[in-house]
Structure 1
Amino acid sequence: MRTAGTTPEPESSARSGLTSLGEVACRYQADEISPEDLPMVAAEVLAAGLDTPTLCELAGLPRNADTCDIRDAFEQALSEAGIELPDRGLARRHALRRLAARLINGEIAPADLATDDWWETEAETVEERSFVSLIPQCACCVEYTLGLDQRTWEADLRIAALALTASPPIGPGC
């Protein structure tokens, strides 16, 4: 048992690092983390207790290193840690859930959802489809397609976001 002022047990720290590296892999596949951010992420995962040779190598790369080198090192580090790079479609579906949660928590405005290609996400559940169907393809489409009924759209979007975040998790966790 851990007491105040002590460091976590190595096994617990490694598990924490492994979990965060798995989430990073999912967010990377969903284009939420860019390759130039991966060396710093690797350093954070190392600090959390997960240690593999290529993870150390990745943490030592500069942000402006060759993108291919960073990607190769990241994928090798995942392999060494026993983590599979998730399917892009599944990663985007998990990102969609995170987006819905951010909307509910007030971290983003409804109009900000039109800044990405969410409408192209391969939604598989009713909740995903309901949420995605309410996301305009671009910022100019918000005003054009909604006209004066923006309040109703925002309310419907929040209802769909709540339904999505409350629905059962999909596939392997990210």
Structure 2
Amino acid sequence: MDRLQDSAWQYVAEVLRPEDLPMLAAHALVDGHDSPALRELAGLPRRSDVTEVRELYVQALSELGVPLPDEETAGRRLLVSLAFGLVQGDLSPKEVGNSLSMTVAAHTEEETQFLSIAAEYSEWIGPDDLPAWERELQAAAQLLAASTDLGSGIRVPASRHD
């Protein structure tokens, strides 16, 4: 999936930080995309006004014909990206549990099962219960990854819990 298209669902799912948007725009220019708003966004410093950064990002996507998905679609893509991240070893079960956001959405039975198990994570989960939870989450992630209609090209968003 194209970096800009990928960023659109991450933006709507609120996992793409505004301070990362200027660098994303610079990478998009290198990838061959070009628009006035994209060039302006790429030239901004990381700590620019958040409102200006967001407006330029949305304008750049519009100029480039990249639609912003609705919240449900963005939430489903986030959920699937977490499942793929776990299956591919890019995320730990703990990181999956910590990466859930209010915008996560489930539509299919597999998405619902994965979300339900992931939402059970807490930093207070007992050491005796943790291995079983991790196994359940891994199994649910594998089922979701094998059954999703959202594609495996989804990139795992950068952790918001740095």
Cα distance between partner residues in 2 of 1:82 and 1:100 = 28
1:32 is matched with: 15
Q: Give the deviation of 1:167 after TM superposition.
A: 1.1
Q: Which structure ranks higher in relative contact order (CA pairs < 8 Å, sequence separation ≥ 6)?
A: 2
Give the TM-score of the pair, scaled to structure 1.
0.78
1:100 to 1:168, Cα distance in 2 relative to 1, 3 A: closer
Question: Deviation digits for residues 55-96 of structure 1, max 9, x if unmatched?
Answer: 111111111111000000001001101111111221121111
Cα distance between partner residues in 2 of 1:39 and 1:148 = 44
Q: Give the deviation of 1:128 after TM superposition.
A: 0.4
Moved more, 57-66 or 27-36: 27-36
Cα distance between partner residues in 2 of 1:119 and 1:23 = 19
Cα distance between partner residues in 1 of 2:119 and 2:78 = 17
Q: Does 1:20 align with 2:19?
A: no
Are the aligned partners of 2:72 and 2:103 in contact in 1 as well (CA < 8 Å)? no
1:140 is matched with: 123
Corresponding letter in the other structure for 1:160: A
Matched ranges for 1:1-174 at <5 A: 19-118=2-101, 121-136=104-119, 139-143=122-126, 148-170=128-150
Unaligned runs of 5+ residues in structure 2 are 155-162
- Compare the two structures and name the one with the higher helix fraction: 1
Q: Give the deviation of 1:122 after TM superposition.
A: 2.6
Question: Deviation digits for residues 40-62 of structure 1, max 9, x if unmatched?
Answer: 10010001101111111111111
Cα distance between partner residues in 2 of 1:47 and 1:21 = 12
Cα distance between partner residues in 1 of 2:13 and 2:39 = 24
Cα distance between partner residues in 2 of 1:90 and 1:26 = 8
Q: Give the deviation of 1:140 after TM superposition.
A: 2.7
Q: Percent identity?
A: 39
Larger radius of gyration between Structure 1 and Structure 2: 1
Unaligned runs of 5+ residues in structure 1 are 1-15
Are the aligned partners of 1:114 and 1:139 in contact in 2 as well (CA < 8 Å)? yes
1:82 to 1:66, Cα distance in 2 relative to 1, 3 A: same
Question: Deviation digits for residues 110-149 of structure 1, max 9, x if unmatched?
Answer: 1232214458733110000010110135533432xxx624
